[in-house]
Amino acid sequence: MNSRHYTIIIGMIMLLAAMTSCNQNSYSAKRAAEDKLIEDFMQRQNIRVIYEEPEDGSWGEKDYLKVPGYDDLYFHLVRTGDDSYTVKQGDKILVRYTRYTLDAIADTASYMTTAEQAYPTQFAYLTDYTTAPVGWHVAVAYMKHSGAACKIICPSKQGLDAEKSSVTPYGYDMQIQIPRY
């Protein structure tokens, strides 16, 4: 082999190495890592996946509904709320929430709560997707009533735009109020 062959072989090795490193940062690689993170979180928390809402309304402490039609979105009803009014499209929803990462060691920079704020986050149900992630709208559909509380595991696809681009899943503990005027 002459030096030209060595140059071609070295060039091919470098190209292959570059393609491999780019592949690890691809969207599909990030999505695979996100799926694994969600799976690991659920195992650490001993979460039991259910595929239908409990008919009698009694949720086991570790039962999370795999929401049909939404990849890797999981919902757990903590409290049913006041059933005197059921949420409708366009209703203003007031949300108090705690957001956290799903890592084994929680990233405190990604921990966020509105529990102590004077004014909770608000959005219009099924019409405002800029303030509230898709996962919240889905959760409200299952909570249905003012005063309800839930926990959700929200993958980036059902999160805010910033979460979609970073492929970061979050857990949320939420409670809602539906003001009636």
The tens digit of pLDDT for each residue in 33-80 reads 999 999 999 999 999 999 999 988 889 999 999 999 998 999 999 999
The structure's pTM equals 0.80
The tens digit of pLDDT for each residue in 108-149 reads 445 566 766 667 889 999 998 888 999 999 999 999 999 999
Please enumerate in sequence order all residues whose Cβ is within 8 A of that of 17, keeping only pairs 6 or more positions apart, or say none. none
Is residue 42 within 8 A of residue 154, CB to CB? The reply is no
Closest by CA to 71, choosing from 128, 27, 135, is 135
Other CB atoms within 10 A of residue 92 CB? 14
pLDDT, mean over the chain: 84
State yes or no: pLDDT of 178 exceeds 70. Answer: yes
Closest by CA to 174, choosing from 91, 89, 112, is 112
DSSP letter for 28, please.
H
Is residue 172 within 8 A of residue 136, CB to CB? The reply is yes
pLDDT band with cut points at 50, 70 and 90 for residue 4: low
Q: What whole-number distance in Å separates Cα of residue 50 and Cα of residue 75? A: 10
The tens digit of pLDDT for each residue in 86-110 reads 999 999 999 998 888 898 775 544 5
The CATH code that applies to domain 31-177 is: 3.10.50.40
